Structure 1
Amino acid sequence: MSEDFSSWFPNQFTASLFIFVFFVWAASEVYNRRGFHRSRHIPGLQRSDRWSYWAILLAVWSSVLVSLLLRSFHVGIFHNSLQYAGLGVEMLGIALREWAVISLGSLFTVVVSIIPGQRLVRHGPYRWLRHPAYTGSMLTFVGFALALGAWAAGLVIFFVCLSAFLYRIRVEEAVLLKVFGKEYLEYMQHTWRLFLGYKYHELYQLRLITCVFVLGRHMLMVMVRRGEARTPPGMILACALQASRARIPRLCEAAVWYRLCYIFHINLEMPV
């Protein structure tokens, strides 16, 4: 815990680049908030947020805290040039989010709102993704963890952010369908929610998600063998590992996998 911050990175240049990217990220979010505060004074603005803003805010601070905490306790870390890849992912996420915000212009808000006379945005990244700002945020937080050299944090952050953004998307798309009706429904048929991809058969989705969880569990087992589970955060992850090894009845196990498959189907795929 008392080690120098720069020792988390392969060299001083990487540490300096990480700090620079972080401040660029912070400055971009301050700029985005200024635009949001201007939009709050628009007459007739209607909010339908249903606490999704607070869910995302919790995911944001949790992501930063988990990254710093696991890296500080040396839980699930790596220390090599792959941290440059993490910085690349982080910068890609920042750029994608800013592209989305610029494309929205005065329509951008941090809470789900309807502006009188609002139009459906189809240019910029919205030609392919319905929620590119959320995709950019997820890439930014995962990249932030990987840039620190904390793969375990990146894995945790992915699922934490995914859960928060899925709830936000459910709230947002319900409002957009109510406002735009068939126009938005037609738009949904030609775009993806969060990530570009293609339709999978449910069996293949199940196998893909199973592989992700098996890989995560394998990494946790490696972490336990290295003794990293002796730290407080490591003990929590070790408990998760032990729980995953428990004998679960086949019916319950199938139900869990089906639910995971369903979550990924409705959020990562083009709708049927």
Structure 2
Amino acid sequence: MDVGIQFWIAFSIWMGTEFVIAIRNRVLRRNVSATKKDKGSLFFILFGVWLATAAAFQFHMHKWGWVTQSVANVGVFMMIAGVAFRLWAIRILGQHFSLSVSVDVDQTIVQHGPYKYIRHPAYTGTLITFVGLGIGLNSWIASCVSIMIFLLIYAYRIHVEEAALVSQFQDVYEEYRKRTWKLIPFLY
């Protein structure tokens, strides 16, 4: 079973938005005074995107963990929903969103929109996108592999990011951490 045009549309939307996010990040952060504290986490995320995408296409080609076309269509919807959720989180942060971990001099803790409940909603959006990618490519195994890859990578990234935020905002960020979830409400 080949993937439908709807998958390729969703895949193109995802790739296009990530391209726009990278350009937007470069333009909006051109004059931002920030301290970089990434510790290689951006590299791990980029590697994870490549690895999870390549694995999903391989699982599709070998028909591992095959799902029906109806289920695959749900995966396509999940891809679009994940991209939309990620974009919402990025829009809320505005110029303070950065692809690498950095703390801006004039940054504050954003606590509205998705940040009211989740500390890292852009990562949540990526997880939803990759679960959808695997299912959209007719493979529930690809979705499981993607979840494992990104949970490992995001565990490191969140550790790095939260250490930077605690060092900058101390008690204010600690209070925010106490009443929000890291990535997935009610789970993590």
TM-score band by shorter chain is over 0.9
State the one-letter code of the partner of 1:8. Answer: D
Counterpart of 2:140 in structure 1: which amino acid?
A: W
Residue among 127, 135, 139 paired with 1:138: 127
Distance across 1 between alignment mates of 2:69 and 2:131? 17
**2:49 matches 1:60:** yes
SS at match of 2:69: coil
Distance 1:116 1:42 in 2: 12
Q: 2:2 aligns with which of 5, 8, 13?
A: 8
Aligned to 1:50: 39
TM norm structure 2: 0.95
Determine which structure has more spread, i.e. the larger CA radius of gyration.
1
- Does 1:107 pair with 2:96? yes
**Per-residue deviation, 1:50:** 0.3
Instruction: Quote the residue 2:139 is aligned against.
Output: 150
Give the equivalent residue in structure 2 for 1:172: 161
Alpha-carbon distance in structure 2 between the residues aligned to 1:76 and 1:155: 10
Cα distance in 1 for partners of 2:124, 2:29 equals 24
The runs of 4+ residues in structure 1 deviating greater than 3 Å are none
Q: Counterparts of 2:8 and 2:175 in 1: how far apart (Å)? A: 43
Q: Quick one: distance in 2 between partners of 1:188 and 1:43?
A: 25
- C-alpha distance in structure 1 between counterparts of 2:39 and 2:20, whole Å: 25
| 1:188-207 alignment, distance < 5 Å | 188-197=177-186
Supply the distance in 1 between the matched residues of 2:131 and 2:89 (Cα, whole angstroms).
Answer: 19
Residue 86 (1) aligns with residue 80 (2): no
Distance 1:92 1:192 in 2: 20
Root mean square deviation of aligned Cα: 1.3
Query: Amino acid of the residue matched to residue 22 of structure 1?
Result: F
Q: In structure 2, do the counterparts of structure 1 residues 80 and 41 end up closer, same or farther at CA, with 3 Å as the change threshold? A: closer
Unaligned runs of 5+ in 1: 1-6, 10-14, 199-267
Contact 2:29 / 2:95 at 8 angstroms: preserved in 1?
Answer: no
Report if the CA contact (8 A) 1:97-1:137 is conserved: yes
Once the two structures are TM-superposed, the CA of residue 43 in structure 1 deviates from its matched residue by: 5.0
Question: What one-letter code is carried by the residue in structure 1 that aligns with 2:12?
Answer: F
Residue 17 of structure 1 deviates from its aligned partner by 1.1
Say if 2:116 is the partner of 1:127.
yes
Q: 1:74 to 1:43 in 2, by over 3 A?
A: closer
- Count of paired positions: 188
8 Å contact kept, 1:125–1:132: yes
Which structure carries more relative contact order (alpha carbon 8 Å, separation 6+)?
2
Amino acid at match of 1:16: I
Q: Secondary structure at the match of 1:8?
A: coil
Identical-pair percentage: 32
CA offset at residue 102 of structure 1?
A: 0.3
- For 1:23 and 1:29, locate their aligned partners in 2 and report how far apart those are by CA, in whole Å: 10
Give a deviation string over 1:152-199, Cα, whole Å, max 9, x none: 11111110111001100000000000101110111111110011116x
Task: Provide the residue aligned with 2:18 in structure 1.
Answer: 29
1:40 shift after superposition: 4.2
Tell me the SS of whatever aligns to 1:81. Answer: helix
Give the Å deviation of 1:55.
0.7
CA distance in 2, matches of 1:43, 1:140: 29
Question: How far has the Cα of 1:120 moved from its partner?
Answer: 1.1
Aligned equivalents of 2:33, 2:93: Cα separation in 1: 19
Q: Secondary structure at the match of 1:103?
A: helix
Query: What is the TM-score of this pair, normalised by structure 1?
Result: 0.67
